Structure formats: C-alpha cells, structure tokens
C-alpha cells in the first residue's frame, strides 16, 4: 500500500490543521470557479472549431527523448519529450525536465539529435516535466538545454502565456496546422486543485490510409474532451492515441516534498477525491467507442496498474513508450 502523503508528514499536518483547513476551503472555492470556467471555455472552443485542412502524411514517426521507460543505454525520467518526423518536416514536442535532469541532453546525444533536425518546438503545457524543470515552470519559461543547439529564432508554439530564450514564441488560441503537416487542436483547459487553471494543447496528424494520430503531453483536459475537439477538426477515424493520459491510480512516478505529486497535483480532482479506477473506466470506454486501434501510452503520468488495465480492456494494440526508441505511426 502506498500513501499519497508520507506518514512522516502526518504529525505536521495534524498540528497545522487549524491553518490548513481554512486554506483548503479558500482554495476549493477558487477550484470550483475554475472548474466552471474551464468547462465553459472548452465547450465554446469545441463549438466554434471547424474542420482543419490536414494533409495526408505518407510517413510519421515518433522518437522518444524523455520518458519514464527507456531502452537499454538510455536514461529515463518522469517527463515527456518526443521528436515527430513526417515527409514534410519535423517538430520537437516538449523538453522533459531539460537541463534539470540532463536526461533529454544525454538521450539526444546518443541519438544524434539537435534542434537543427526540427522546424519548430511545440509545448503541450507549462508544467515542469514538459518545459525543462521546476525553475522553468516557476518562471513560465521553456528551458531548452543549450546542448541541443542554438534555436536561432525557431518558432515555439505555446498553449498559454510564456516564453523560450532564443525562440520566436507564439501563444496559440485555436486549432491550426503547424509544421511537418502536424496540427495543434489548440489549447483546452483543465482546473486543478493546487496548480490552478491550466491550458494544454494536443497534436493531431492525418495518416494516409489509416486515420488520425493524436499525440498528447499529459492529457490533463481528459481524453474525452480531447477527442470531442478532434472530431470537430476531421471526419477521419482516430487510429492512434499516443502520449500521456494521466492515470496515476495507485502510484505517482513523481514524488515531491513527501507527496505523490501526480496523484495530488495533476488529476483535476480535489485531494479528498483521488483519481480512481472509475475515471479510467470512463477513459477506456471513450477510446473504445471512438474505435482507437493503437495506443502508445506514456508511463510518465500513468502507473503500472492503469497501463495493465488499458492493455487488457482497450480494443487496441497497447505499447508503453520508451526513451531511445522510434515508433512508426504508419
């Protein structure tokens, strides 16, 4: 059995409860307002979205620079960084913990990857495991490690206010085709109890002959809302879902300050109502109803129990993403 809060912290929490309880009450009021705001915002964005002119890609591959699982010889972390390549170009999607851990740098060096290999940087959302670490998150800056090369004003597409040194940054408000024939579905919101209101963008590409590939960072807006938006952007069936879906049901990959960080901070639910198997039931039925054929799941924000359930219950081929590996999407 694992505790979301280390038992070592329990006495301090008990002693601090006269201050903690009112603070949670105030935060809960803000959280409930954010829930309504996020629902309204997503509803109107989905309603206003129109079909995107997605080119049919003859090839699309995903190379993993940062993930929880890794091939032999590669390092792992609870972060996300993927290189997506098509016959039209390439984009870097997120930069994991960046220089804070050095994982992306080392794995990129092994793979011979530099920024010169891509046309743009796309950031899913402004959380530490995607923008280059805790300091980067606090400063709302994407910290791309210098070892990856000079950006020279390369485009960086963000889902929310922020910046990235040396890049030409664009905050996106709606779906659009970016580089390499890959599109963003635009920012979608999620209210989080501790992290507040966040925006996350997800990528979508059309694979010639098979359908759509949907590529997520953490999947905070939920796969249900993401697929609702995707359906507005294309009539093609969703063939592949790839990336993080955020199901730390029994364990969190990331522990901070004695807390199971992802189970606490990233679920979009209050601390007294943890994410559970019912939430995963719903996500699995959403993906099965959508006819998803292949799921390349990120273990950086879903635990082994959740991944085992997906493997058993999804009507799709399920594989866990590994750093150092390249996946052909078609």
Own/partner long-range contacts of 150-154 (Cβ < 8 Å, ≥24 apart):
150/115, 151/115, 151/121, 154/115, 154/118, 154/119, 154/120, 154/121
Residue 211 tokens read as: 């359908």
Nearer of residues 215 and 218 to Fe ion, judged by Cβ: 218
Span from 147-155, 187-195, 267-275, 293-301 in contact with Fe ion (CB under 5 A): 293-301
Give the per-residue contact string, 112-131, with Fe ion (x = CB under 5 A; - = no).
-----------------x--
* Shortest reach from residue 47's CB to Fe ion, in Å: 28
* Shortest reach from residue 219's CB to Fe ion, in Å: 8
Using an 8 Å Cβ cutoff, are 83 and 116 in contact?
A: no
CA distances (Å), origin 9, targets 13, 14, 251, 257 = 6, 9, 18, 9
CA distance 299 to 244: 7
Residues 233-292 that bind Fe ion (CB under 5 A): none
Residue 132 tokens read as: 């280059």
Number of residues in contact with Fe ion under rule CB under 5 A: 3
* Shortest reach from residue 243's CB to Fe ion, in Å: 9
| Nearest residue relative to Fe ion (C-beta) | 218
* Shortest reach from residue 211's CB to Fe ion, in Å: 25
CA distance 316 to 207: 17
Nearer of residues 128 and 314 to Fe ion, judged by Cβ: 128
* Shortest reach from residue 87's CB to Fe ion, in Å: 29
CA distance 132 to 12: 31
Four-residue CA torsion sign, 131, 134, 137, 142: negative
Nearer of residues 156 and 245 to Fe ion, judged by Cβ: 245
* Shortest reach from residue 82's CB to Fe ion, in Å: 12
Nearer of residues 86 and 302 to Fe ion, judged by Cβ: 302
* Shortest reach from residue 75's CB to Fe ion, in Å: 17
Nearer of residues 68 and 167 to Fe ion, judged by Cβ: 68
Candidates 68, 328, 306; CA nearest to 205 is 328
* Shortest reach from residue 129's CB to Fe ion, in Å: 4
Nearer of residues 129 and 179 to Fe ion, judged by Cβ: 129
CA distance 202 to 226: 8
* Shortest reach from residue 244's CB to Fe ion, in Å: 5
Span from 11-19, 88-96, 146-154, 301-309 in contact with Fe ion (CB under 5 A): 301-309
Of positions 172, 218, 245, 307, contacts Fe ion by CB under 5 A = 218
User: What is the residue whose two structure tokens read 């799941």?
Assistant: 297
Nearer of residues 260 and 301 to Fe ion, judged by Cβ: 301
Span from 69-77, 107-115, 284-292, 296-304 in contact with Fe ion (CB under 5 A): 296-304
Nearer of residues 181 and 219 to Fe ion, judged by Cβ: 219
Nearer of residues 81 and 234 to Fe ion, judged by Cβ: 81
CA distances (Å), origin 55, targets 117, 212, 238 = 21, 11, 15
> Which residues form the interface with Fe ion (CB under 5 A)?
129, 218, 301
């Amino acid at each position: 059995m694992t505790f979301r809060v280390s038992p070592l912290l329990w006495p301090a929490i008990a002693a601090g409860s006269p201050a903690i309880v009112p603070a949670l009450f105030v935060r809960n009021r803000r959280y409930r307002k954010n829930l309504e705001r996020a629902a309204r915002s997503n509803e109107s964005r989905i309603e206003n979205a129109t079909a995107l002119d997605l080119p049919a890609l003859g090839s699309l591959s995903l190379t993993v620079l940062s993930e929880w699982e890794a091939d032999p010889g590669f390092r792992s972390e609870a972060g996300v960084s993927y290189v997506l390549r098509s016959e039209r170009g390439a984009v870097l999607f997120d930069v994991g913990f960046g220089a804070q851990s050095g994982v992306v740098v080392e794995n990129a060096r092994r793979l011979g990857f530099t920024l010169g290999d891509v046309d743009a940087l796309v950031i899913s959302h402004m959380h530490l495991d995607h923008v280059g670490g805790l300091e980067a998150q606090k400063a709302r800056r994407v910290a791309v490690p210098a070892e990856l090369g000079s950006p020279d004003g390369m485009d960086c597409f963000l889902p929310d206010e922020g910046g990235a040194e040396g890049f030409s940054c664009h905050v996106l408000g709606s779906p659009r085709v970016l580089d390499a024939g890959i599109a963003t579905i635009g920012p979608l919101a999620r209210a989080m109890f501790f992290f507040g209101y966040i925006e996350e963008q997800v990528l979508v590409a059309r694979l010639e002959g098979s359908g759509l590939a949907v590529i997520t960072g953490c999947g905070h807006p939920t796969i249900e809302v993401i697929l609702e938006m995707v359906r507005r952007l294309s009539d093609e069936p969703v063939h592949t879902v790839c990336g993080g879906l955020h199901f730390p049901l029994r364990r969190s990959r990331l522990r901070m300050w004695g807390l199971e960080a992802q189970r606490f901070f990233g679920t979009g639910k209050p601390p007294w109502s943890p994410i559970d198997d019912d939430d995963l039931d719903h996500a699995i039925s959403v993906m099965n109803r959508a006819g998803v054929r292949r799921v390349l799941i990120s273990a950086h924000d879903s635990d082994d129990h959740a991944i085992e359930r997906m493997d058993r219950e999804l009507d799709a081929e399920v594989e866990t993403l590994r750093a150092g590996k390249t996946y052909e999407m078609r």
